[in-house]
Amino acid sequence: MTWLAEITPKHIQNLVPYSSAKREASSGEVWLNANENPFACETPAGLSSMNRYPEFQPAELLTAYARYAGVKPETLLATRGIDEGIDLLTRSFCEKDKDQIIYCPPTYGMYKISAETNGVEAIPVPLIKDWQLDVPTIIETASSSKLIYLCSPNNPTGHVLDYEDMIQILMATLGKSLVIVDEAYIEFKAETSASKLLDEYPNLVILRTLSKAFGLAGLRCGFVIANREIITTLQKVSAPYPIPGPVVDLACKALSSSGIDGMTRDVENIWKNRQILNDMLKEFSFVTSIYPSVANFFLFQVQDAQALMEALINDGVVIRNQSSQIGLNNTLRVTVGTELEIAKFYQSMKAYEAQL
């Protein structure tokens, strides 16, 4: 039995995935196997007809993302965003009322929510000095945890996790747990990706998305990158047609060379605007800390987060209060917007300052 089979619950090991019409037959001329309507309705320009079910894992999409990410298509699972990838990992590897996962707050909230939704205990191992990983505690807790979630660049702090720390955790948990690195914001600091470690560590899983730098949050398209055996297990649990046809068309366009050039230009513009936003935040005396960020947002601390939040909302400016997260008392997270949006945020901050 492989190490992965050993950590995979029995009911998933024995699961025979739903044999959809598309999975049973992938080539043919006359398609009468899926109770589809044979009459294609009109589709908007650039989109394929939609009367047929999409492929389970569209080859065109996997090839396009594999080329972009520098990995093999068979190491990918396309999902409806990272959030679906997280949910599939929980449901594929964790058993209700038995298993546990580790997450490292302050961080993205869905690791804990997904675990708890599925009756799996979520153990927090908070970030320590400089918001880096508490490696000894993670390794110690890992002996009873199937999944370990790391987020780099991390949301909401915007910082990158130490690479050597990640390697230490990967090494210590080899053959025992999956280490999942959420790289939702990786395009903003591409050189820090853990993808170089995929060949060496079969317990590494990377989560990626088109929601951030690619500007396609509304499309709902993400990817799990992992070794083939992990991908095969996740495929068993996945919905039979997770990626709608129009999503495939639009995602492939985004992953073409002109699409990637467009994304790169957006990232450069966001970097410029990030500097403007950073300089602007420094002007306000009620902003007590601005945390260095490599991503498209800033976390900053103020004297009274709730009061500022309310003032901004009354002015039509919506940012995010992070104060309820561990270690983030009176902090807010603001996304890097357009110059116009930053100017409006600045005006509202000025109006708040004037009435202090």
- Which residues here bind ligand PLP, judged by CB under 6 A? 81-83, 108, 151, 155, 182, 184, 209, 211, 217, 222
Nearer to ligand PLP, 55 or 183 (CB): 183
Please state the closest distance from residue 352 (CB atom) to ligand PLP, in A. 26
The residue of the chain with the least Cβ separation from ligand PLP equals 81
Closest alpha carbon to 89 in 247, 241, 240, 225: 225
Nearest approach in angstroms of CB 206 to ligand PLP is 12
d(CA 195, CA 206): 7
CA 227 to chain centre: 18
| Cα gap 131→113, rounded to integer Å | 22
- Indicate the residue among 83 and 249 with the shorter CB distance to ligand PLP: 83
**What residue ranges in 51-154 does DSSP mark as E strands?**
76-79, 100-103, 121-124, 147-151
> Which is closer to ligand PLP, CB of 58 or CB of 156?
156
Q: Measure the CA–CA gap between 300 and 278, rounded to whole angstroms.
A: 10
C-beta closer to ligand PLP: residue 177 or 209: 209
- At closest approach, how far in Å is the CB of 30 from ligand PLP? 37
CA nearest to 224, candidates 75, 101, 60? 75
In degrees, rounded to 5, the angle at the alpha carbon of residue 58 between the alpha carbons of residues 53 and 60 is 130
Q: For residues 4 and 332, which CB has a smaller minimum distance to ligand PLP in the complex?
A: 332
Residue 215's contacts (CB-CB under 8 Å, 6 or more residues apart) are 263, 266
CA distances (Å), 49 to each of 42, 44, 71, in order?
A: 7, 9, 30
CB of 64 to ligand PLP, least distance (A): 17
| Least separation in angstroms between CB 14 and ligand PLP | 29
Q: Smallest gap, in angstroms, from Cβ of residue 78 to ligand PLP?
A: 11
User: Given the complex with ligand PLP, which of 22 and 212 has the nearer CB atom?
Assistant: 212
